[in-house]
Amino acid sequence: MARQIVIIGASASGIEAAAATRKKDRTAEITLITQEKTAGYSRCGLPFVIGGHIANFKDLVVYPQAFFKMLKLNLRTETKATTIDTKNKTISIQTKEGSCETLSYDALVIATGADAFMPPIKGREKRGILSLRTMEDGEKIDTAIKAGAKSAVIMGAGLIGLELGAGLMERGLKVTVIEMLPQILPQFLDADMAKLVQQHLEEKGMNIILNKVIEEFLGEDKVIAVKAGGEISRADLFISAFGVRASTQLAIDAGIPIGETHAIKTNARMETGVKDVYAIGDCAEAPNIITHRPTCAQLGTIAVREGKVAGVNIGGEYSLFSGVLASAVTRLFDIEAGNTGLTETAAQRNRIEVITGTVNSKTKADYFPGAKFIKIKLVIEKESQHIIGAQVVGGEEVTQRINCLSFAIQQGMTVRELAKADTAYAPPLCETWEPMVLAAEIAMMKLR
């Protein structure tokens, strides 16, 4: 009899788990369940549809219906998983028509992702507060712009908030971003690197307000303004970008253990504390490669890797997830920013004594037309001299430097080894001295 595999969630991690399982088990009956109308699309692309870089939201669909048919995957959209019975190995579901069913499983994958977070702010029950988590969210924002919205307040200066803010400005809106902390991108960059990004955004016309907590949503039944730090900001659009929280209620109700990050606790095989139940993606925690502490970084790159590991194990083979560095990059107008490993702030929070090496350079030979600025910051563990983090901000060539430094961290490279790296040079492509090497040399001077 064919094994029954049920996957709750049909986004990046869930689909990767289904595909990896199918490659190892040709006969299993694999069912994917999602509450959304559309499965297998890129959430990361949503701000860029709103900004006009991508023509249509449907263009974000990475896995068309033909993919599911080819792999013989049973995809059920607009279907909600309501309960998990781990003792009898069943789940209860509710269809879009309202009917209820029970599915049996031999292996269950929880890939429920994360939900937009809204703090307990006075007036949050009012209409008109939007977020950007799903394709439907994006369509609502797009509809509001087409209906004549001219201004927006974005609450939160993380990656999604700023990417959306840039997209709205590219559509002609006046944008104000309000952040409770003293810098933008607080989980992504240290303050000195974030300042470069902030200056660029402000030069483009974005109004950024820091150190202000949203106190109240103003209006009768619909929001017309927000009160932050005693000041009132009015707009046509109000976007909640306070971040996301792992969607774990199904697991909690089923008695599946939750970890210290408040995401579902897993081992290196992406197994939960309940036999034959796996958790992957934004709802699952995994160890940080440097600190070895559980983390829930909620990035698409991590989600697909976890999905593949779970799928291989469900398919009968053996695979381990190596951990998280949380490498990420973004582009906002004409500036790129990236991070891998720990920021200096995160290292200090984990009581790791560090020194840093920072350098300002160019992406081409200084005399070559079109050379753009680039700034690199290395975070070095003082005792071992290992590289444990890096940030890059510049006009171009950020992604591959972040990838290179991610490799260096994963391979346990020391700052001395990086300073001796043999790198390439050509005037239209790079400086004689690679900026990463220069940053390493500056860090070594501090060590001396």
- Tell me if 409 sits within 8 A of 340, measured CB to CB: yes
* Predicted pLDDT at 98: 86
DSSP 271: B
Model pTM? Answer: 0.95
For residue 392, list its beta bridge partners. Answer: 338, 376
Written as one letter, the residue type at 190 is: D
Q: What is the pLDDT of residue 363?
A: 96
d(CA 308, CA 112) in angstroms, rounded, equals 16
User: Quick check: 428 and 368 in contact, CB under 8 A?
Assistant: yes
Q: What is the pLDDT of residues 295-312, one digit of tens each?
A: 999 999 999 999 999 999
Check if the beta carbon of residue 280 is closer than 8 Å to that of residue 296.
no
| pLDDT more than 70, % of the chain | 100
> In this structure, is the dihedral angle defined by the CA atoms of residues 265, 270, 273 and 278, taken in order, positive or negative?
positive
Q: Which domains does the chain have, with CATH numbers?
A: 4-114+245-314 (3.50.50.60), 118-242 (3.50.50.60), 336-447 (3.30.390.30)
Q: What DSSP element (H or E) covers 145?
A: helix 135-146
Half-sphere exposure of 194 (CA within 13 A, CB side): 20
What is the share, in percent, of the chain residues with pLDDT greater than 90? Answer: 98
List the end-to-end C-alpha distance of the chain, in Å, as a whole number: 67
Cα 244 to Cα 131, 150, 260, 299, distances in angstroms: 10, 26, 16, 11
Q: Three-state DSSP class for 264?
A: strand
Show the CA angle centred on residue 59, arms to residues 53 and 61, nearest 5°: 135
Give me 397's structure tokens: 């060539």
Q: How confident is the model at residue 448 (pLDDT cuts 50, 70, 90)?
A: confident
Q: Which residues have C-beta within 8 Å of that of residue 66, sequence separation ≥ 6?
A: none
Residue labelled with tokens 């709205």: 168
Catalytic (active site) residue 44? yes
How confident is the model over 409-443, as pLDDT tens digits? Answer: 999 999 999 999 999 999 999 999 999 999 999 99
Q: Are 93 and 82 in contact (CB under 8 A)?
A: yes
One DSSP character per residue, 299-324 reads -HHHHHHHHHHHHHHHTTS------B
| Burial group, residue 334, by CB count within 10 angstroms (0-12, 13-18, 19+) | exposed
Q: State pLDDT tens for residues 143-200.
A: 999 999 999 999 999 999 999 999 999 999 999 999 999 999 999 999 999 999 999 9
DSSP element (H, E) containing 92: strand 90-94
CA 288 to chain centroid:
15
pLDDT tens by residue, 341-382:
999 999 999 999 999 999 999 999 999 999 999 999 999 999
Q: Which residues contact 290 (CB under 8 A, 6 or more apart)?
A: 325, 341, 342, 388, 389, 409
Cα–Cα distance for residue pair 168/150, rounded to 1 Å? 9
As a whole number of Å, the CA-based R_g of the chain is 23
Distance CA 333, CA 393 (A): 13
